[in-house]
Structure 1
């Protein structure tokens, strides 16, 4: 996932200075996707150069100027393009969380299709894990190594079941 899409989403929620954006990012999107303040400032400059954001200088005459970043139509279009693009694998939860936040800001923009695709991917993965469990862990007297291996597999099964429960609850909202 590109940090730029997370930043555009945050700026659509509220135009901000780089400092304000970094602080908000730390308290929200930063819970599931990390970026340093240095990365954020670097990407804001790139996004301005690309025509995705504009910089509004605010401040008193002779005083310190603050740069407030606003998303331009090209930035909004780029975010919509990215949201509509299928992820590269079923394991990109970070990207999915940003896509859902983008949909919250912009309205229906295609997250439903992506969530449906990921549900199918996770269902297939869960079925594979259950097949492995039936095939490899049905003995009455498993060795210590087999018991430990089974515990690892059970963690994978549990994670997939939890993800699918969350996704199925979320699907009607997108």
Structure 2
């Protein structure tokens, strides 16, 4: 995935100024595709130069605040990219290597890291569950909302799995070794 496509998606959902977009990005797409505000502003400039979005000055705003909207060429690019075939993603998870290394050189302080990771995943899980309760109760009936809910449910399952995985690894590390 690329940041330009994430930004086009966010702008189609709701046009707005770069600062608004960056804030919304942090609270939605940013949960599974991170970008700094600097990266977002840089990419908005590239998208505009490519004729995929249009920025207009915001009346009465201080500085050079601009509101952005997606142009037909941007919508076409997003449709093209969405239809593109995606290969399965390889797993690249540092924790898996650390656990294998722990088996070879342990004991180390890896249980402390796992405790912190488990807490992080439980916190994120609660955040996602709160979003689900707030935004998807009752369950949506329109397809667009159902797809957004499906993405959120994938995040819920991921966080639930990762917290349980960390807890299982901690239990194994706490057990007496042979």
Q: What is the CA–CA distance in structure 1 between the aligned matches of 2:60 and 2:39, rounded to whole Å?
A: 28
User: What runs of 5+ residues in structure 1 fail to find an aligned partner?
Assistant: 93-102, 108-147, 152-174
RMSD: 2.6
Q: Superposition pairs for residues 53-132 of structure 1, below 5 Å?
A: 53-60=53-60, 64-90=63-89, 104=144
Equivalent position of 1:2 in the other structure: 2
- Cα pair 1:12 1:70 within 8 Å, conserved: yes
Q: Which residue of 2 aligns with 1:158?
A: none
The residue matched to 2:69 in structure 1 has which SS?
Answer: strand
Separation of aligned partners in 1, 2:25 and 2:33:
9
1:38 aligned partner? 38
TM-score by length of 2: 0.49
Tell me how far apart the structure 1 counterparts of residues 14 and 90 of structure 2 sit (CA, whole Å). Answer: 29
Unaligned runs of 5+ in 2: 92-142, 148-168, 173-178
Moved over 6 A (4+): none
Distance (Å, rounded) in 2 between the aligned partners of 1:73 and 1:29: 22
SS at structure 1 position matched to 2:6: helix
CA distance in 1, matches of 2:82, 2:90: 16
Q: Answer 1 or 2: higher relative contact order, Cα 8 Å, separation at least 6.
A: 1
Alignment size in residue pairs: 97
| CA gap 1:55/1:91 in 2 versus in 1, 3 angstroms | same
Q: TM-score, structure 1 length as denominator?
A: 0.50
